């Protein structure tokens, strides 16, 4: 009941929201369903429902159950407890692309953002989570969280229904971008732009065909979805 009530932002913003949140925190050790762990974490991370010490504890619980950390990706992707430093070439990337970003070019804006500490922390968390997914609910939530982070470059849902469709679209779009601006001909920038186009369309639709024919979890499930997870992981690593 506390989870259902905290889905409403008005309840979360009311003093009763903190009481409901405390009940959820107290019950965390007794949760058995990964989907409930994920949902509780996401809801607890709203606004100022919990103290920083509890927030850190929730993150540490994610060492064993990745569901908790997926909650962070969904609710506060740019404010994770574990911080990763900005890339050493962050300033160089900014110098190279700021003029283009200032024209409203979303790709350039995202490329600059990805070199900074908030995005680097997000990438590190994603790579850790993707290596230890145990349930279909976790997979779906993680893919949706990643797609949401890069949504500024999402073109349409038509070609995003399958990973293969997205890969084909990405290659065609890359060719157009390179012909429009020579800055994208830089091999490193080109690889990162390709990664952005792929990640922007990540969603649970990519694994729906697998899950429609299997209810497996754990290592069996990870093997079934390995082609999707590998593509996403490689794309994320292009920014590290």
Percent of the chain with pLDDT over 70: 99
pLDDT tens digits, 10-25: 999 999 999 999 999 9
Q: What pLDDT is recorded for position 184?
A: 74
Count structural domains, the chain.
2
Same domain, 49 and 116: no
Phi and psi angles of residue 216, each rounded to the nearest 5 degrees, phi first: -65, 155
Any alpha helices (H) in the chain, and if so which ranges? 2-6, 9-13, 15-27, 34-44, 52-61, 66-75, 90-101, 106-114, 117-130, 136-149, 163-180, 187-199, 208-211, 218-224, 226-237
Same domain, 94 and 167: yes
pLDDT > 80? residue 180: no
CA angle 169, 151, 108 (to 5 degrees): 80
Q: What pLDDT is recorded for position 189?
A: 86
pLDDT tens digits, 103-159: 998 999 999 999 999 999 999 999 999 999 999 999 999 999 999 999 999 887 677
Distance CA 67, CA 137 (A): 9
* Nearest CA among 130, 169, 129 for reference residue 153: 169
Same domain, 117 and 224: yes
Q: What pLDDT is recorded for position 113?
A: 96
Distance CA 51, CA 228 (A): 36
CA distance between the termini of the chain: 41
Any alpha helices (H) in 131-239, and if so which ranges? 136-149, 163-180, 187-199, 208-211, 218-224, 226-237
Q: 175: pLDDT confidence band, cut at 50, 70 and 90?
A: confident
Evaluate if pTM is beyond 0.85. yes
pLDDT > 90? residue 61: yes
Mean pLDDT of 97-103: 92
pLDDT > 80? residue 182: no
Same domain, 117 and 23: no
Same domain, 114 and 153: yes
Mean pLDDT of 43-64: 93
pLDDT > 80? residue 177: no
Same domain, 40 and 115: no
From the number of C-beta atoms within 10 Å of its C-beta (0-12, 13-18, 19+), residue 92 rates as: exposed
Buried b / exposed e along 55-64 (16+ C-beta atoms within 10 A): beebbebbee
**Range from 3-12, 16-25, 99-108, 173-182 carrying the lowest mean pLDDT:** 173-182
- Determine contact, residues 83/120, Cβ cutoff 8 Å: no
Same domain, 165 and 213: yes
pLDDT > 90? residue 81: yes
Q: Which domain holds residue 66?
A: 2-75
Work out whether the CA dihedral 145, 147, 149, 152 comes out positive or negative: negative
Distance CA 73, CA 201 (A): 16
Residue 29 lies in a domain: yes
pLDDT > 80? residue 179: no
162: left (phi over 0), alpha (psi -120 to 50) or beta: beta
């Amino acid at each position: 009941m506390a989870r259902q009530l905290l889905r409403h932002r008005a309840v979360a913003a009311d003093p009763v929201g903190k009481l409901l949140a405390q009940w959820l925190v107290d019950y965390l050790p007794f949760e058995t369903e990964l989907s409930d762990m994920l949902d509780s974490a996401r809801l607890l991370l709203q606004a100022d429902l919990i103290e920083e010490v509890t927030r850190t504890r929730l993150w540490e619980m994610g060492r064993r159950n990745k569901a908790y950390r997926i909650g962070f990706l969904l609710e506060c992707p740019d404010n994770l407890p574990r911080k990763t430093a900005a890339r050493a070439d962050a300033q160089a990337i900014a110098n190279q692309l700021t003029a283009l970003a200032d024209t409203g070019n979303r790709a350039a804006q995202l490329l600059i953002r990805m070199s900074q500490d908030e995005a680097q922390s997000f990438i590190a968390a994603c790579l850790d989570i993707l290596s230890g997914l145990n349930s279909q609910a976790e997979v779906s939530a993680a893919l949706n969280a990643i797609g949401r982070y890069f949504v500024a470059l999402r073109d349409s849902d038509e070609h995003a229904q399958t990973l293969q469709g997205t890969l084909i679209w990405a290659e065609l779009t890359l060719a157009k971008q390179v012909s429009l601006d020579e800055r994208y001909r830089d091999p490193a920038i080109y690889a990162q732009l390709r990664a952005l186009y792929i990640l922007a369309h990540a969603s649970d639709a990519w694994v729906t065909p697998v899950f429609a024919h299997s209810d497996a979890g754990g290592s069996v499930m990870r093997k079934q979805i390995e082609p999707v997870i590998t593509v996403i992981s490689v794309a994320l690593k292009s920014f590290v």
